[in-house]
Structure 1
Amino acid sequence: MTAALIGYGGLLEISDDAGSTWTEIAEVFNMTPPSNSVDIIDATHMQSPGRDREYILGLNDPGECSMEMNFVPGSATDTFLLAVKASYERVKCRITWPNSVIWAFDGLLTGYEAAAPTDDRMTATITFKVTGSTVATPAAAPTNTVLPAISGVAQVGEVLTAWAGMWTGAPTFTYQWEAAGTPIGGATASTYTPIVGQVGDAITVVVTGTNAAGTASAESVATAVVIGA
């Protein structure tokens, strides 16, 4: 049985502060990761056997990394990339693959080129010159770093919406809504609408993140108690 994967679910993040915070590069649809090559050094000398050239391996060239993305002028991603380019500083990059393996490397943003065809979507290509080694980290179970949250008014008939929070490990999410700490049967979507029987109860949502290495759950802060319509 094959273990092949498609690229869907991959994630590119960049840190311009030595890894304290990471910014997701939004709407990437194609990634070409760093591809190392080794310099070839001509070591031929006057006594090389058979008049044949001789070679030895030299230094490792970490190569480049490029990504294609949907181009949205003025977006948070556009603003961030322009700032990185203007800084002329190296940044930390990490690619989280669909199976949660992470490739991390330092890079210099050498290109940010947009294309705006008349009858197709606008796209942009970003190119990093990789500096130093690319470090691969095995898949790890997801970890919640910022708790889930609920938006909306806790009122009968009003839709509440769950925000999954922030996680490491690029997980996929499932949801379980609770009223007064008790799971609500069938309430497993990212939205929930309180009913009359829940008046006076506070609503929470438990978000479970899953990737190839495992699962973890985190619970939101409770809403105010549900009020009537």
Structure 2
Amino acid sequence: MAIHTNADSKLFISPTSVNVDTINAMNDASAVAFFEGINDWVEVEELEDLGELGDTSEAITFTALNNARVRKLKGPRDAGTQTIVVGRDPLDDGQEAFIAAERTKFDFPIKIELADARTAGHSNSVLYYAGMVQGAPTNLGNVSNVVRRTFTVGINTAIFEVSSEELAAPTNTLEPSIAGVLDEGEVLTAIDGVWTGSPTFTYQWKADGANIPGATAKTYTIQAGDVGKSISVAVTGTNSAGAATAESAPTAEVPA
């Protein structure tokens, strides 16, 4: 597939604000690594229209008297103000994250995954950028209208694109970790780490290095039998080219 439609594209926002001056000082590779290191992306559901985005340069003109010819130069670059339309869903975490961002004066990371993989053995292209959510009005319309919400994003960085490429088996570049309180009855959450190859993840929780039967979700509730043992989690990343497993460092012993 050389060209593609926008069907199956996905939109994500991180609820953690960023400093766009820091991002704008990075080269492209460093900026992509920064965005790929974000681990709290929230998908926006009921997406209808992603609008337009990308750099254009301000036109600066000069006309010399000797030839009366208008010459055009390139001025500051502007990545645009994106208009995103969704079907209003008050229970969608992604839409709520956009609404929360609009109530601040800060910039937030945004990610678009395009459905442009040439084959099942290729990745989708991904666009990364950061901007300020400047509006979130609701379009109520008439009796036959689907209620929509429009988010406007003033983009304040370049658009950093990771183009579709042939997939290789995943590799882990930053090992998984565990978040949560280490105590009986508390819930631990696996943090996937950073991976290449756009994998999907499965999990296996361990106590003192031994698999805990049935503990294969992203979260794990500490049991009485875990007291005195250290907890770790093995994360397996899988894509169409293969799979790889990386394990978190073990926690301290679960206290009595």
Secondary structure (helix, strand or coil) at the match of 1:55 reads strand
Q: Report the equivalent of 2:134.
A: 110
Moved over 4 A (4+): 140-146, 166-173, 207-211, 214-218
| One-letter amino acid of the structure 1 residue matched with residue 125 of structure 2 | V
TM-score (norm 2): 0.53
Aligned length: 166
Larger radius of gyration: 1
Q: Deviations over 1:31-53 (max 9, x none)?
A: 12413211111122333x1x222
Q: Report the equivalent of 1:89.
A: 106
Q: Matches of 2:244 and 2:127 in 1, distance apart?
A: 25
Choose the corresponding residue for 1:44, options 32, 41, 63: 63
Q: Report the equivalent of 1:120.
A: 145
Q: Report the equivalent of 1:101.
A: 125
CA contact (8 A) 1:106 1:131 kept: yes
Q: Matches of 1:91 and 1:40 in 2, distance apart?
A: 28
- Larger strand proportion, structure 1 or 2? 1
Q: Deviations over 1:127-162 (max 9, x none)?
A: 11111211101335678989xxxxxxxxxxxxxxxx
Percent same amino acid at aligned positions? 17
CA contact (8 A) 2:12 2:94 kept: no
Question: 1:97 Cα shift?
Answer: 0.7
Choose the corresponding residue for 1:80, options 68, 73, 97: 97
Q: Matches of 1:81 and 1:90 in 2, distance apart?
A: 11
Q: Report the equivalent of 1:188.
A: none
CA contact (8 A) 1:9 1:170 kept: no
CA contact (8 A) 1:35 1:65 kept: no
Q: Report the equivalent of 1:192.
A: none
Question: 1:27 Cα shift?
Answer: 1.5
Q: Matches of 1:78 and 1:94 in 2, distance apart?
A: 14
Question: 1:8 Cα shift?
Answer: 2.1
Choose the corresponding residue for 1:68, options 85, 89, 94: 85
Q: Matches of 2:69 and 2:112 in 1, distance apart?
A: 43
| Unpaired stretches in structure 2, ≥5 consecutive residues | 19-37, 118-123, 178-191, 202-235, 246-256
> Are 1:136 and 2:123 counterparts?
no
> Are 1:55 and 2:79 counterparts?
no
Q: Matches of 2:45 and 2:199 in 1, distance apart?
A: 16
Q: Map 1:73-222; keep pairs closer than 5 Å.
A: 73-98=90-115, 99=117, 100-117=124-141, 118-139=143-164, 210=239, 214=241, 216=243
CA contact (8 A) 2:131 2:156 kept: yes
Q: Deviations over 1:167-206 (max 9, x none)?
A: 9877799xxxxxxxxxxxxxxxxxxxxxxxxxxxxxxxxx
